[in-house]
Structure 1
Amino acid sequence: MTITQLYYVLAVAEQQNFTKAAEKCFVTQPTLSMQIQKLEGELDIQIFDRSKKPIELTEVGKKIVTQAKNIVNESYRIQDIVDQQKGFIGGEFKIGIIPTIMPTLLPMFLKAFIKKYPKIKLKIEELTTEDIISRINEGHLDAAIAATPLESPNIKERVLYFEPFVGYIPKHHRLSSKEKINTDDLEIDDMLLLEDGHCFRDGVINLCKNFKSQNEDQFQLESGSIETLIKLSDEGMGMTLLPYLHTLDLSEKGKNNLHYFNEPSPAREVSLLYHKSELKMQIIDAMHEVISGIIRGAIAFQNVNIISPLPK
Structure 2
Amino acid sequence: MTITQLQYVLAIAEQKNFTKAAEKCFVTQPTLSTQIQKLEDELDVIIFNRNKKPIELTEVGKKIVDQARNIVSEAERIQDIVDQQKGFIGGEFRLGIIPTIMPTLLPMFLNNFIHKYPKVKLKIEELTTEEIIDRLNEGHLDAAIVATPLAIESIKERVLYYEPFVAYIPQNHRLHQKDKIKASDLDIEDVLLLEDGHCFREGVINLCKSFKKNIENKFQIESGSIETLIKLSNEGLGMTLLPYLHTLDIKEKLSVNLKHFEEPTPAREVGIIYHKSELKMQIIEALEKVISGVVRGAIAFQNVKIISPTAQ
**Shorter-chain TM-score tier:** over 0.9
Task: State the TM-score, normalizing by the size of structure 2.
Answer: 0.94
Structure 1 residue 263 corresponds to structure 2 residue 268:
no
In structure 1, the residue corresponding to 2:266 is in which secondary structure? strand
**Equivalent residues, number:** 311
Distance in 1 between residues matched to 2:216 and 2:41, nearest whole Å: 59
**CA positional deviation for 1:15:** 1.1
Distance in 1 between residues matched to 2:294 and 2:220, nearest whole Å: 38
| % identical aligned pairs | 77
Query: Are the equivalent residues in 2 in contact too, given 1:99–1:127 (CA < 8 A)?
Result: yes
Letter in 1 for 2:100: T
Letter in 2 for 1:139: G
Equivalence map 1:69-84=2 (5 Å):
69-84=69-84
Render the CA deviation track for 1:137-163: whole Å, top value 9, x for unaligned: 222222211112223332222211111
Q: Which residue of 1 aligns with 2:226?
A: 226
Distance in 2 between residues matched to 1:253 and 1:13, nearest whole Å: 53
Distance in 2 between residues matched to 1:194 and 1:179, nearest whole Å: 25
Q: Which residue of 2 aligns with 1:34?
A: 34
Distance in 2 between residues matched to 1:20 and 1:226, nearest whole Å: 36
Distance in 2 between residues matched to 1:194 and 1:56, nearest whole Å: 35
Q: Which residue of 2 aligns with 1:242?
A: 242
Letter in 2 for 1:298: A
Letter in 1 for 2:272: L
**CA positional deviation for 1:177:** 2.1
Shifted more, 134-143 versus 114-123: the winner is: 134-143
Task: State the TM-score, normalizing by the size of structure 1.
Answer: 0.94
Letter in 2 for 1:252: E
Q: Which residue of 1 aligns with 2:158?
A: 158
Query: Are the equivalent residues in 1 in contact too, given 2:188–2:205 (CA < 8 A)?
Result: yes
Query: Are the equivalent residues in 2 in contact too, given 1:17–1:55 (CA < 8 A)?
Result: yes
Query: Are the equivalent residues in 1 in contact too, given 2:8–2:25 (CA < 8 A)?
Result: yes
Q: Which residue of 2 aligns with 1:304?
A: 304
Distance in 2 between residues matched to 1:129 and 1:16, nearest whole Å: 24
Distance in 1 between residues matched to 2:260 and 2:5, nearest whole Å: 57
In structure 2, the residue corresponding to 1:216 is in which secondary structure? coil
Structure 1 residue 52 corresponds to structure 2 residue 52:
yes
Distance in 1 between residues matched to 2:230 and 2:136, nearest whole Å: 32
Distance in 1 between residues matched to 2:33 and 2:279, nearest whole Å: 29
Query: Are the equivalent residues in 2 in contact too, given 1:267–1:307 (CA < 8 A)?
Result: yes
Distance in 2 between residues matched to 1:214 and 1:84, nearest whole Å: 49
Distance in 2 between residues matched to 1:172 and 1:21, nearest whole Å: 56
**CA positional deviation for 1:49:** 2.1
Q: Which residue of 2 aligns with 1:285?
A: 285
Which runs of 5 or more residues in structure 1 are unaligned? none
**CA positional deviation for 1:174:** 1.3
Distance in 1 between residues matched to 2:208 and 2:155, nearest whole Å: 28
Equivalence map 1:168-247=2 (5 Å):
168-212=168-212, 213-217=214-218, 219-247=219-247
Shifted more, 54-63 versus 72-81: the winner is: 54-63
**CA positional deviation for 1:292:** 1.0
Query: Are the equivalent residues in 1 in contact too, given 2:202–2:311 (CA < 8 A)?
Result: yes
Distance in 2 between residues matched to 1:93 and 1:23, nearest whole Å: 21
Distance in 2 between residues matched to 1:152 and 1:49, nearest whole Å: 34
Distance in 2 between residues matched to 1:35 and 1:154, nearest whole Å: 32
Distance in 1 between residues matched to 2:221 and 2:41, nearest whole Å: 59
**CA positional deviation for 1:20:** 1.2
Query: Are the equivalent residues in 2 in contact too, given 1:76–1:279 (CA < 8 A)?
Result: no
In structure 2, the residue corresponding to 1:152 is in which secondary structure? coil
**CA positional deviation for 1:42:** 2.1
**CA positional deviation for 1:302:** 2.1
**CA positional deviation for 1:184:** 0.9
Distance in 2 between residues matched to 1:177 and 1:109, nearest whole Å: 36
**CA positional deviation for 1:80:** 0.7
